[in-house]
């Protein structure tokens, strides 16, 4: 008896959606060996010393907050991103926040304010998972930020369903070593894990609020996907705990939303093969072998591994993160923002996040779990198994939710938690179903179930 080797866990559990610079509307791939790495991507920015006065389409200013000339955040202001031909009707910033001055560890952020009425809209932090995935490259530039890259690899276009339409969106690269985040101490790259990442994320947030003080009293939400099923509950519970401390900055945490969450190693792995079987991707023989040989209880025999290998071979070359999407076979000029080194050196990762979820539920914090129904890796099945374990009372019965009279997914309200599915979406819900994702996100911020 022995635990799964790291190679098996990496191929099955590691959640690595990829931002393809060269191909618009491509899919992500499920195998680490197929990941296209990005290298030598540089952000060129122009700086101004005074408040700009861009005008939105309807003639109103995107922000009325006055920034003094000596405000330290002015050096982070972006006038135009590389390849940005269209004028942005919102303020955007990018830069570094130091989280450990002694080691020289700093996290990179990208911040896009809402185009309209930004002063009255909440602040939302987005975290990609992995561990090792870039919140800027994947989250902002591929999934839900205001811009994405055209197939020419040179120019940007505006996203119609960007999430900063309804909130002020903050993307941070965690931990150091991911994307543009860095440390001046080499040892930091070999001493990473959930605990360090959680504390760095909290320190980042507090120091960022020092740079953007008008957001200190703003309603605050945390969102993300996949391995952010670890980051988000851990960070949320730390915020709640530290809010009780004397003289601490009180973060007005209102809620968290996690997409296709990795919440329990054994449950996620069991659900993967159940999902294969339910979607006619493996044979009855392979499925019965897994049921017979695998207990999914933290220990895995050689017979169990052989059974899982057979199922994986039968499944064939299918993108596990979006099982009905075409596989991308060619993408030129990739650059690196995701970092496998981070995953390889991860030190601490709880096998289950259910105690953290239960603790967060008891705090009264708004909690939404949502699942794209075409993701096999962190599947809707996996989340349903987790909900069965939690045994929460149902307050609103399972029902469809709709956009333009079309079923967009399904929703059920539990006491202390809402679960939403998104029909036709893969692992990265905002990428595969941008309109549905924006409606879901808007409903979450409002504290209302998605429309019937």
Show which residues are catalytic: 226, 375, 427
Q: Which residues of 424-442 are buried (b: 16+ CB within 10 A; e: fewer)?
A: bbbbbbbbbbbebbbbbbb
Distance, C-alpha 440 to centroid of its chain: 15
Report phi then psi at 226, rounded to 5: 55, -115
Cα–chain center distance at 315 = 27
According to DSSP, the β-strands at 182-183 and 168-172 are: unpaired
User: Measuring CA to CA, how many Å separate 310 from each of 33, 304, 375?
Assistant: 19, 10, 20
Terminal-to-terminal C-alpha distance of the chain: 49
What pairing do the DSSP bridges indicate for beta strands 253-259 and 220-225?
parallel
Q: How far apart are CA 265 and CA 252, in angstroms?
A: 31
Q: Report the run of H or E that residue 442 belongs to, with start and end.
A: helix 434-446
Q: Are 424 and 369 in contact (CB under 8 A)?
A: no
| Token couple for 72 | 């330290």
Q: Mind giving me the DSSP string for 263-277?
A: -BHHHHHHHHHHHHH
């Amino acid at each position: 008896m022995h635990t799964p080797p790291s190679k098996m866990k990496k191929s099955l559990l590691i959640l690595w959606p990829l931002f393809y610079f060269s191909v618009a509307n491509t899919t992500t791939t499920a195998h680490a060996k197929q990941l296209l790495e990005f290298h030598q991507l540089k952000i060129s920015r122009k700086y101004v010393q005074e408040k700009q006065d861009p005008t939105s389409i309807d003639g109103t200013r995107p922000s009325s907050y006055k920034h003094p000339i000596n405000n330290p955040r002015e050096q982070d202001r972006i006038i135009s991103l590389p390849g940005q031909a269209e004028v942005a009707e919102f303020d955007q910033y990018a830069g570094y926040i130091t989280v450990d001055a002694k080691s020289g560890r700093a996290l990179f952020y990208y911040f896009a304010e809402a185009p309209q009425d930004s002063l009255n809209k909440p602040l939302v932090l987005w975290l990609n998972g992995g561990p090792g995935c870039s919140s800027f490259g994947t989250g902002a530039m591929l999934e839900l930020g205001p811009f994405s890259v055209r197939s020419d690899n040179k120019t940007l276009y505006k996203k119609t369903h960007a999430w900063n339409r309804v909130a002020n969106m903050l993307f941070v690269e965690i931990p150091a070593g991911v994307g543009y985040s860095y440390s001046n101490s080499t040892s930091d790259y070999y001493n990473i894990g959930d605990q360090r990442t959680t504390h760095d994320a909290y320190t980042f947030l507090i120091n960022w609020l020092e740079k953007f003080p008008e957001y200190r009293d703003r309603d605050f939400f945390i969102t993300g996907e996949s391995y952010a099923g670890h980051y988000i509950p851990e960070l949320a519970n730390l915020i709640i705990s530290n809010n009780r401390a004397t003289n601490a900055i009180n973060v007005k945490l209102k809620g968290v939303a996690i997409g296709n969450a990795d919440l329990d190693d054994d449950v996620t792995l069991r659900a993967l093969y159940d999902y294969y079987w339910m979607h006619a991707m493996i044979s009855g023989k392979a499925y019965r072998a897994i049921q017979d040989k695998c207990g999914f209880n933290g220990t895995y025999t050689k017979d169990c591994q052989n059974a899982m290998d057979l199922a994986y071979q039968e499944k064939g070359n299918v993108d596990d993160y979006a099982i009905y999407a075409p596989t991308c076979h060619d993408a030129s000029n990739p650059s690196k923002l995701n970092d496998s080194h981070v995953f390889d050196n991860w030190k601490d990762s709880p096998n289950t996040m259910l105690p953290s979820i239960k603790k967060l539920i008891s705090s009264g914090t708004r909690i939404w779990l949502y699942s794209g129904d075409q993701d096999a890796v962190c599947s809707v099945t996996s989340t349903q198994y987790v909900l069965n374990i939690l045994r929460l009372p149902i307050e609103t019965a399972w029902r469809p939710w709709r956009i333009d009279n079309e079923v967009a997914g399904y929703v059920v309200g539990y006491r202390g938690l809402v679960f939403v599915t998104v029909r036709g979406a893969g692992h990265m819900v905002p990428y595969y179903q941008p309109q549905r994702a924006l409606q879901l996100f808007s409903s979450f911020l409002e504290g209302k179930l998605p429309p019937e």
